[in-house]
Amino acid sequence: MATAAPIFAFAVQSVIQLILLVFALVVQGVALVHAVTQRGDGFAAIGTLPKGGWIAILAVCLALTLLGFGPISLFGLVGIAAGLIYLLDVRPGLRDLHDGRGSW
């Protein structure tokens, strides 16, 4: 009975890593698609990195996450952070710039 615990722990660890991988790929993929579909002059208007810079950062991090480094590696964590920064900071700024309605 004592040997079942390590097997269960590895199963839980693999499920958690799979969930983190899916989360990382979704966040990075959505951010990359949004960055590609936006106009380039909007990035300069809100005072952030240029469009090409965001696309390069997000694409490299997504590629490194897909190539097997995984979401727990340094590249995966940087990719998750870059995707979340883009989605939570840059995307609302671009939306407010184009809509003119504000965040509320």
Residue 91 in domain: yes
Residue 95 in domain: yes
pLDDT tens digits, residue range 73-94?
888 889 999 999 999 999 999 8
Q: Please identify which residue in the block is written with the tokens 């809100």.
A: 46
Number of folded domains in the chain?
A: 1
Residue 20 in domain: no
Residue 90 in domain: yes
pLDDT value of position 63: 92
Q: How far is CA 55 from CA 29, 37, 77, in A?
A: 11, 10, 17
Residue 14 in domain: no
pLDDT tens digits, residue range 3-60?
666 778 888 888 999 999 999 999 999 999 999 999 889 899 898 999 999 999 999 9
Are 50 and 43 in contact, with CB atoms under 8 Å apart? yes
Range of the domain at 102: 70-104
Residue 46 in domain: no
Residue 80 in domain: yes
- Sign of the dihedral defined by the CA atoms of residues 51, 56, 62, 66, in that order: positive
